[in-house]
Amino acid sequence: MHSKFALPAAATLLQAASAQILYGADAGSLSSDTWSSVIESANYTDSQSVAGRDLSATYPGSEQDGWSLSFAIKDGVAGSGETKTPAGAISLSGPSSDFDDSWHLCLHVFPVRPASAGGAWSTDFDGTCSGSVATECLDDLKKNALSNFGKDCKTWSLTASCLRDIQDNRLNTAAVSVTADNHQDFIGNETSFYREVFADEILTAALEPRAVVSVWGRSADSGEDPTIQITCLKPDTVASGSTDPGAPEGAASGLKALASWAVLTAAVAFQLL
């Protein structure tokens, strides 16, 4: 009896330790080719540079240019028929794919409330999160990332300081633990560590930024504090051939303006009756 149950449990644990952060129905059943296509042929993207470390050198190495976090979203990825829904992927990539075994990274993703980020389409979103996430919240996220830094990259409940700007009903309890053994699955130009299938249509999904907490530390237990960064991503860069919701004379925004004008006129007419 015991061994019969022990085996599936062990298999589940192994799977959990090497899985991307997944969110939304179907996110776990899409192939890695499908997730690559989200990055390669996205409709909307954002890329922000990160003060990364040289992971090819022994910890603590030195700061290294060329690291970035990207959020790509693509329409019509999951599901079938006419109801195909959009999907999004977050990637961390740097100049080299070497990963010295003295390093360990924890990656956490938090959904920022659209209203905190202005709630509208814009192309000057600030990757530092200033203006969209309260400074006290950013400080608390860093404190928690520090105290939870360990082999399994535990995540935590939000502090009160974060409730205004982070969606606690959408919190994903998973985080990714990146080591020399699994780094190719999670970081680099061709993969992603966060994968989401959206319930909303793509232009609604694009207005919901993500705050990514990246923790760059030592793999061995030590008293040294890891380097912690928080980067906000909002996919507001429009790929060519995709609808530009920011275009002032765009067909889509024109239609929307006409619709709300009609509603307003109807409301006024009703009042006059």
Ligand X SMILES: *[C@@H]1O[C@H](CO)[C@@H](O)[C@H](O)[C@H]1NC(C)=O
Based on CB atoms, which residue is closest to ligand X, 95 or 131? Answer: 95
Closest approach, Cβ 25 to ligand X, in A, equals: 21
Question: Which residue type is seen at 111?
Answer: P
Question: Contact letters (x/-) for ligand X, 224-253, by CB under 6 A?
Answer: -----------------xxx----------
List Cβ neighbours of 26 (8 Å cut-off, separation of 6 or more): 78, 79, 197
Q: Rounded to the nearest whole angstrom, what is the least distance from the CB of residue 254 to ligand X in the complex? A: 16
Q: Choose, by CB under 6 A, the member of 91, 93, 132, 231 that binds ligand X.
A: 93
Nearer to ligand X, 152 or 201 (CB): 201
Tokens of 20: 């991307």
* Residues listed for the chain: 273
Site string for ligand X, 52-71 (x = CB under 6 A): --------------x-----
Neighbours of 244 (CB within 10 A): 16
**Residue 60: CA count within 13 A, CB half-sphere:** 11
State in angstroms the smallest separation of the CB of 228 from ligand X. 23
C-alpha dihedral (102, 194, 187, 173), degrees to nearest 10:
0
172 or 242: CB nearest ligand X: 242
* Shortest distance, position 62 Cβ to ligand X, whole Å: 18
> Under the criterion CB under 6 A, does residue 48 sit at the interface with ligand X?
no
| Bond prior to 60 in cis (omega within 30° of 0) | yes
Q: Residue 85 or residue 116: which is nearer to ligand X going by CB?
A: 85
Binds ligand X (CB under 6 A): choice among 188, 227, 229, 253:
188
State which of residues 43, 132, 192, 237 lies at the interface with ligand X (CB under 6 A).
43
Instruction: Using CB atoms within 10 Å of the CB of residue 54, give its burial: 0 to 12 exposed, 13 to 18 middle, 19+ buried.
Output: buried
**Cβ-based neighbour number of residue 233 at 10 Å:** 25
Q: What angle do CA 60, 65, 70 make, to 5 degrees?
A: 105
Indicate whether 95 belongs to the interface with ligand X (CB under 6 A). Answer: yes
Select 20 or 43, whichever has its Cβ closest to ligand X: 43
CA–CA separation, 207 and 58 (whole Å): 39
Q: Which range, of 10-18, 57-65, 92-100, 153-161, touches ligand X by CB under 6 A?
A: 92-100
Task: Tell me if 202 contacts ligand X by CB under 6 A.
Answer: yes
Instruction: Confirm if 93 and 67 have CB atoms less than 8 A apart.
Output: yes
3-state secondary structure of 167: coil
189 forms part of the interface with ligand X (CB under 6 A): yes
Binding status of residue 37 toward ligand X by CB under 6 A: no
Residues that bind ligand X (CB under 6 A): 43, 66, 75, 93, 95-97, 188-189, 202, 241-243
